[in-house]
Amino acid sequence: MKIRPGTSAMVATAALAALSILAAPMAWAQDEGSIARGGRLYDKWYTETGQEAPKESHALYPKEANYADKPGNNWRCKECHGWDGKGADGAYASGKRYTGIKGIIGMHGGDPAAVVALLKAPAHGFEGLLSDADLSDLGNFVVAGKYGYEAYVSDGKIVGDPAHGGQVYRTVCAGCHGAEGKLPKDMPPLASLVDNPWELMHKVLNGQPKEAMPALRAFDHQAAADVIAYIAAELPAE
């Protein structure tokens, strides 16, 4: 819009102010809890819902791709569409995770009901496997989750402030993962996972399926990138 001096500029300013008032409550209406749960389902839906993995491989998984005989892998949304939601156009463009399948990012900003319909259709085959609440969380994640991570990952490396990340780590993560990132259970050290910054962003923003781990999604996503930068810079990888 062209802004001229005088009244039209004032009208334009007033219009912008009205828009920002309208925009604020809309941003809050987005349910970050539902989006985060959708993110955990996208990671490993059958663990999040407490089911067994299907016994037969997913019909849409290419027969020649690496995990064709592993239904526990090839039924995960992330296995076909990537942690970055970009499928064959993103981090899975080559290597053992390559399937040639497109991402989910084309439906970002769209209608969650359209995603639900797609997941219930015979090709995806989630009708009967996931509840309406699960499907709704997945729909919210696909349309409103921020999973491209362009602002936080550059050349396959996390972009963040390790000093601030250390503050986040010691207040939010260390209680469960320990000062060195080697706890709990028999998980690999957190610092051994930093070559996959998209997966780490996904886990930190959405939590770990079926675990009490918090999701940082409601905070500025830079806090998640900062904590990963700290893990990469300061914690031992073995």
Structure tokens at 98: 């390559």
Q: With binding defined as CB under 6 A, does residue 126 bind ligand HEC?
A: yes
Closer of 27 and 212 to ligand HEC (Cβ): 212
Q: With binding defined as CB under 6 A, does residue 203 bind ligand HEC?
A: yes
Q: What are phi and psi of 23, to 5 degrees?
A: -70, -35
Using CB under 6 A, pick the residue from 214, 221, 222, 234 that binds ligand HEC: 214
Q: Measured in whole angstroms, how far is the alpha carbon of residue 29 from the centre of its chain?
A: 19
Can you tell me whether residue 153 is helix, strand or coil?
strand
Q: For the window 13-42, what string marks contact with ligand HEC as x by the rule CB under 6 A? A: -----------------------------x
Can you tell me whether residue 171 is helix, strand or coil?
helix
Q: With binding defined as CB under 6 A, does residue 104 bind ligand HEC?
A: yes
Minimal distance in Å, beta carbon 26 to ligand HEC?
22
- Listed residue (214, 217, 230, 93) closest to 159, CA to CA: 230
Kindly state the DSSP code that residue 193 receives in the 8-state scheme. G
In angstroms, rounded to a whole number, what is the distance separating the alpha carbons of residues 192 and 21?
45
The residues binding ligand HEC (CB under 6 A) are 42, 45, 58, 60-61, 74-75, 77, 79-81, 101-102, 104, 106-107, 115, 118-119, 124, 126, 138, 142, 172-173, 175-177, 184-185, 187-188, 190, 193, 200, 203-204, 208, 211-214, 216, 227
